[in-house]
Amino acid sequence: MISLLQEAANTAAEHSEDVAGRAVDAAAQGADAAAHGAEAAAAQGAEAASSGMPQLDFSTFPNQIFWLVVTMLILYWVMSRIALPRIASVLSDRQGAITGDLMAAEEFKQKAKDAEAAYDAALAEARSEAQKIVAANKAEIQKVLDAAIADADAEIAARTVESEKRIGQIRDSAQADAQTVAKDVTAELVRIFGGNADQAQIDGAVDSRLKGVRQ
């Protein structure tokens, strides 16, 4: 392929030489025409070079490579010395700022949490205090109440004892009355039926009978 290309380049060169030769002929006809001819020759020469692919025109390769190398060297120098470190520092600064802000936010959040905990603790303390007061009051009232109940109980007990004593007295007197009545009635009955009974015998009989009843 390269040999073919060289052949093509050679033919192109011959062609432009021809054109140049014609331009020289034209030069003989006058200065104006010569200038004109030279321009035309140059234009035609460019045309001849362009008839193939400009990419394979090896005569322009050193030029392109030279300017490419120059451009790349400048670009690399600018990028590696100025632009890239600058962007890297900006990005890391931003990262740092974001991290710092996040940490500050975390700190504030922690503070808020602490405040909430303190509030909760105070609330719980107040509540327990109130409960303590309530319990103390309740105990005092209970004590008073207990004392009153005990007093009342004692009074009731005293009165019950007294009442029982009186009931017992009444019962005893009633029993004695009933015995007296029974003895009197028995003695009268014995006297009416004509018996002559000893007062002591009658008492004994009545007592023994009454004992059986009472039991």
Partner 1 sequence: MEGNIAELGQYIGAGLAAIGSGAAAVGVGNVAGNFLSGALRNPSAAAGQTATLFIGIAFAEALGIFAFLVALLLMFAV
Partner 2 sequence: MATEAQGESTGLEFHPMEQFIVKPLFGDGPVQWYTPTNVTLWMGIILLAIIALFVMGTRGRAIVPNRVQSIAELGYGMVHKMVGDVVGKDGLKYFPYIMCLFLFIVFANMLGLLPKAFTVTSHIAVTAVLALAVFISVTVIGFVKNGTHFLGLFWVTSAPLVLRPVLAVIEVISYFVRPVSHSIRLAGNMMAGHAVIKVFAGFAALALVSPVSILAVTAMYGLEVLVAFIQAYVFTILTCVYLKDALHPGH
Q: Are 4 and 56 in contact (CB under 8 A)?
A: no
- Which of partner 2, partner 1, none is residue 61 near (CB under 5 to 8 Å by kind)? partner 2
Residues contacting partner 1: total by CB under 8 A: 8
Does 97 engage in binding with partner 2 (CB under 8 A)?
Answer: yes
Does 8 engage in binding with partner 1 (CB under 8 A)?
Answer: yes
Residues 55-74 that bind partner 2 (CB under 8 A): 55-57, 59-72, 74
In this complex, which beta carbon is closest to partner 2, that of residue 26 or of residue 42? 42
Does 46 engage in binding with partner 2 (CB under 8 A)?
Answer: yes
Separation between Cα atoms, residue 202 and residue 211, nearest integer Å? 14
Radius of gyration of the chain (CA): 73
Contact residue for partner 1 among 5, 13, 48, 190 (CB under 8 A): 5
Residue 75 structure tokens: 């670009």
Residue 79: which H helix or E strand, with range?
none
Amino acid at 104: A
Instruction: Lay out the site mask for partner 1 across 104-143 (x = CB under 8 A, - = otherwise).
Output: ----------------------------------------
- Which of partner 2, partner 1, none is residue 79 near (CB under 5 to 8 Å by kind)? partner 2
b/e map 94-110, b = 16+ CB within 10 Å: eeeeeeeeeeeeeeeee
Contact residue for partner 1 among 11, 29, 51, 131 (CB under 8 A): 51
Does 117 engage in binding with partner 2 (CB under 8 A)?
Answer: no
Residue 32 structure tokens: 């104006």
CA-based nearest residue to 204, from 179, 181, 173: 179
Q: Are 41 and 23 in contact (CB under 8 A)?
A: yes
Residue 104 structure tokens: 């500050």
49's CB contacts (< 8 A; 6+ apart) are: 12, 16, 57, 59
Does 11 engage in binding with partner 1 (CB under 8 A)?
Answer: no
Which residues form the interface with partner 1 (CB under 8 A)? 1, 4-5, 8, 51-53, 56
Which residues form the interface with partner 2 (CB under 8 A)? 39, 42-43, 46, 49-57, 59-72, 74-76, 78-80, 82-84, 86-91, 93-94, 97
